[in-house]
Amino acid sequence: MDEAQKKEFTVGGFTFGNKEDVELAEQEISAVKFIDKKIEGRNAETIKSVYQAALEKRLFRTPVGYTYLYDLQRKMIGMGISKEDIPGVPLYQVFNSNLDDKPKPERTVRIRKKKDELHRKNARLTIAVLVLAFLVVVLFAISMTGSSPTVLNYRRTVQNEYAEWEQQLKDREAVVREKERELNGGMYESN
């Protein structure tokens, strides 16, 4: 991450790994300013109830918000509330990870992208299969109704052709025999 990008990704003294976290931290700064205006001059119990509401609603999820909650804890202790009566700030992240300079996308984002990619590939494959199935049906229909011999109707076509030739030969033989009879019959008569 270069210096310009570090400045762009820094909010409230914290440098974030991506633009979404920066936007979330900026929203939390706005919430901090709003809450500060509302609790200004209020008693410790009011501040404690606002603090607990922020925890229940998970209002803060970045270090910017966690720092503000910690500051509220210090403020309440300074106002006389016992440390044991103030709930701790719950952290919903894992901090023991190997980090390098490159921000890593969240695992859920990668999984979602892979699922979306698989859905798109499945849709394309389904369309391709349907088109190919349609083409196969069309080709079978053409080959069954066509007059030229194909692999599917070759035997029947050849048998029909030989049967036709055989019939033609029989017809010619009959004509030839008839002519022979006429010729042979004429030879016996002239003798």
**CA dist 16 → 11, 109, 113 (Å):** 8, 17, 22
| Residue 10, helix vs strand vs coil | strand
pLDDT along the chain (191 residues), means of 10: 78 87 90 90 89 89 90 91 88 66 60 85 95 93 74 78 93 93 71 49
Alpha-carbon gap, residue 60 to 144, rounded angstroms: 72
**Which residue range is the domain that position 160 belongs to?**
152-191
173 within a domain of the structure (yes/no): yes
**Does residue 82 sit in the same domain as residue 138?**
no
**Does residue 82 sit in the same domain as residue 10?**
yes
> From the centroid of its chain, how far is CA 70?
42
**Does residue 23 sit in the same domain as residue 70?**
yes
Q: Residue 6: what pLDDT?
A: 76
99 within a domain of the structure (yes/no): no
**Does residue 41 sit in the same domain as residue 116?**
no
**Does residue 81 sit in the same domain as residue 126?**
no
**Does residue 88 sit in the same domain as residue 126?**
no
Q: Residue 13: what pLDDT?
A: 87
Alpha-carbon gap, residue 66 to 45, rounded angstroms: 20
DSSP per residue, 120-182: HHHHHHHHHHHHHHHHHHHHHHHHHH-SS--TTTHHHHHHHHHHHHHHHHHHHHHHHHHHHHH
**Does residue 18 sit in the same domain as residue 69?**
yes
**Does residue 55 sit in the same domain as residue 128?**
no
**Does residue 15 sit in the same domain as residue 85?**
yes
Question: What count of other Cβ atoms lies within 10 Å of the Cβ of residue 34?
Answer: 10
Q: What is the pTM of this model?
A: 0.49
133 within a domain of the structure (yes/no): yes
| Residue 21, helix vs strand vs coil | helix
**Does residue 67 sit in the same domain as residue 140?**
no
178 within a domain of the structure (yes/no): yes
100 within a domain of the structure (yes/no): no
**Does residue 161 sit in the same domain as residue 179?**
yes
**Does residue 9 sit in the same domain as residue 76?**
yes
98 within a domain of the structure (yes/no): no
Number of domains observed in the structure of the chain = 3
Q: Residue 177: what pLDDT?
A: 92
